[in-house]
Amino acid sequence: TSTATPLAFYDDKTTAITKQSYGKGMSYALGFSFKALILTNQINRDIQANRIGSNGFEPTSDAVMLFVKAIYEAHIKNAVTIHTSPFDTYSTLVVTHDIDASSAYDTMHYYSEYEYSIGLRASYFFTTHYFDDGLMSDYYNASNIEKIKEVIKHQHIAGSHSVGHFPDFANSNVFPMGLLGNTNINYHPYNSGKGATVGGSVLGETEVSKKLLEEDLSISIKSFRAGHLCFNEKLINSLDTLGYSNNSTFCAADVLTNFPYQQPKDQSVASPLSHIWEFPITISDVFHGDPITAKNYKKKVDIWLDVIRRNTLNYAPSVLLIHPTRLYKLNAEQDLIKSLSPTIYTTNLDWFADYWRKRASVYFSSKLSNDSLILIVPSAQLPLDTALSFIIHNGKYLKNITASDELGNMIPIKLKIFNTNDMILYFREYKPLTLIKSYSTAQMSIIYFPNPCNDYCNFEFNLAHSSKIRLYISDILGRPFLTLYQGILGEGLHRIPFQTTDLLSGIYFYTFTVDGVSVSKKLMIIKN
């Protein structure tokens, strides 16, 4: 350290990182353990290194890896790296929903229809609670399975959210690994609501939920998220055994990284890697201490947007979790998506996971000659998935950029400037969601009269073109209980009558949905 240049210091002023000339090159010394700052964080064994749990930006591990990347780019002229977002985008938003309550089964179709209307395919994680206990009713039943099938018809992706959604799932004494061969006939966990769960196992929760969803829906379940985000030390072992591919149980701020990573078994850095990739949750509708409500959801959307903006600067993805139990949360999702930059790719977890695996398997080289660079991809890797792309550092100053296989056969590419001086080499442009086909909330003018209502009222609105309409009434907690109209109406002025005879005086809400975009407003009923 007496001759090297210090680049970073610990809080006690001792040197943490140095660089020094070494022969014709440069030497960097990192005064910390990769295991301590990366791997231990990824399995959530750090000693409370994070300041927040979710809905914030905690990129400790990312900062270290981006520092190493910066060293590479500083010393390799026109360094080429494989991009961390699909196509020519800057970042990715992964939209997910946890269906872990009866109210979520009742309301999720509003989210499903909105997302389908704009071309978004989201991930829906279903809790298969097929029994009554002290925590929940047996809401995984024939009626709700039909509701799931409607979500799947809208081309959304199903994942498992466990069987029982137990709050003590992380306790390995209460939930041991267990044995294979579990079914809804022989697996009977139970929680009275007053103590520990009995009869549960990690394999039971992951095996039965997967089997039920696959048999009832005739689909393949690849992704899992534990109830209450409880991470059992044998969870990855179980998912690996059962043929899952993806897990999304950790929070990004808690594990100090926003990027996906491969999970080891036994929640231990000393164990071998599994086939399971972790996709940490970045932002969600869970705000401890100041819950999201119909009055403050716009401020929560601002927090989500700030986290996404920060991640975008690192080309990192953001995983969004919304429990679809209230309609104001749908308004929050709509506001978020409408506020996104068109350079952010929006998709579901399974799609992004498949992309990330393809990205992780690609190997390539580059050759720089004068002011020309060629990206070389071995023919065994071709054809590349068109979602993949590459970043050429300071590529703006090159005269020529091409791509070929090892035999010199040219690969068709697209090029454009990326982040001031870099160039992105890609194969297909991203087409943003079809938001232009939807109404904005400003366009969705609807009134009711008389105001307040007595025994009846009329809703009146004007449509600019033929549109799919839904108008329904919710109680003060945002729970819908009465649909006034659902169907397609043509261009022009429309009036829908509403008889309030069976309702008590009080405050209600009406929600008006046009082509998947919703607006909710207060409805006053005062009886004489």
Overall residue count recorded for the chain in this entry: 528
Of residues 209, 58, 34, the one with CA closest to residue 130: 209
Question: According to the model, what pLDDT value does residue 180 have?
Answer: 98
Q: For residues 377 and 407, give the distance between their C-alpha atoms in angstroms, rounded to a whole number.
A: 10
What ranges in 118-201 are assigned the alpha helix state H? 142-153
Arithmetic mean of pLDDT, 199-207: 98
Q: For residues 112 and 324, give the distance between their C-alpha atoms in angstroms, rounded to a whole number.
A: 10
Burial of 488 (0-12, 13-18, 19+ CB in 10 A): exposed
Q: For residues 125 and 221, give the distance between their C-alpha atoms in angstroms, rounded to a whole number.
A: 10
Q: For residues 422 and 398, give the distance between their C-alpha atoms in angstroms, rounded to a whole number.
A: 10
Sign of the CA dihedral running 398, 341, 383, 412: negative
Of residues 108, 83, 110, 113, the one with CA closest to residue 97: 108
- Structure confidence by residue, pLDDT tens digits, 61-79: 999 999 999 999 999 999 9
| Peptide bond between residue 176 and the one before it cis (omega within 30 degrees of 0) | no
pLDDT band at 361 (very low <50, low <70, confident <90, very high): very high
Percent of the chain whose pLDDT exceeds 90: 77
Three-state secondary structure along 246-259? EECCCEHHHHCCCC
Q: Is the pLDDT of residue 395 over 90?
A: yes
Question: According to the model, what pLDDT value does residue 444 have?
Answer: 64
Lowest mean pLDDT among 54-63, 162-171, 477-486, 513-522: 513-522
Q: Residue 373 forms beta bridges with which residues?
A: 368, 401
> Would you list the DSSP string of 198-220?
BS--HHHHHHHHHHHHHHHHTS-
Lowest mean pLDDT among 156-170, 217-231, 362-376, 438-452: 438-452
Please, what is the average pLDDT of the chain? 93
Q: For residues 367 and 383, give the distance between their C-alpha atoms in angstroms, rounded to a whole number.
A: 20
Token pair recorded at residue 371 = 């002011």
- Structure confidence by residue, pLDDT tens digits, 180-198: 999 999 999 999 999 999 9
Lowest mean pLDDT among 240-244, 332-336, 347-351, 492-496: 492-496
Q: Residue 494 forms beta bridges with which residues?
A: 461
- Structure confidence by residue, pLDDT tens digits, 252-308: 999 999 999 999 999 999 999 999 999 999 999 999 989 999 999 999 999 999 999
Q: Is the pLDDT of residue 142 over 90?
A: yes
3-state DSSP assignment of residue 443: coil
Task: Supply φ then ψ for residue 155, to 5 degrees.
Answer: 70, 20
Looking at this protein, which amino acid is placed at residue 322?
Answer: I
Arithmetic mean of pLDDT, 354-367: 97
- Structure confidence by residue, pLDDT tens digits, 401-450: 999 999 999 999 999 999 899 999 999 988 877 653 445 554 567 888 88
Question: According to the model, what pLDDT value does residue 40 have?
Answer: 95
Of residues 341, 279, 324, the one with CA closest to residue 90: 341
Percent of the chain whose pLDDT exceeds 70: 98
- Structure confidence by residue, pLDDT tens digits, 215-256: 999 999 999 999 999 999 999 999 999 999 999 999 999 999
Question: According to the model, what pLDDT value does residue 443 have?
Answer: 56
Looking at this protein, which amino acid is placed at residue 214?
Answer: E
Q: Is the pLDDT of residue 20 over 70?
A: yes
> In angstroms, what is the C-alpha Rg of the chain?
26
Give the count of beta carbons closer than 10 Å to the beta carbon of residue 189.
Answer: 22
CB 217 within 8 A of CB 148: yes
Q: For residues 248 and 250, give the distance between their C-alpha atoms in angstroms, rounded to a whole number.
A: 6
Q: How far apart are the first and last CA of the chain?
A: 85
Q: For residues 84 and 314, give the distance between their C-alpha atoms in angstroms, rounded to a whole number.
A: 9
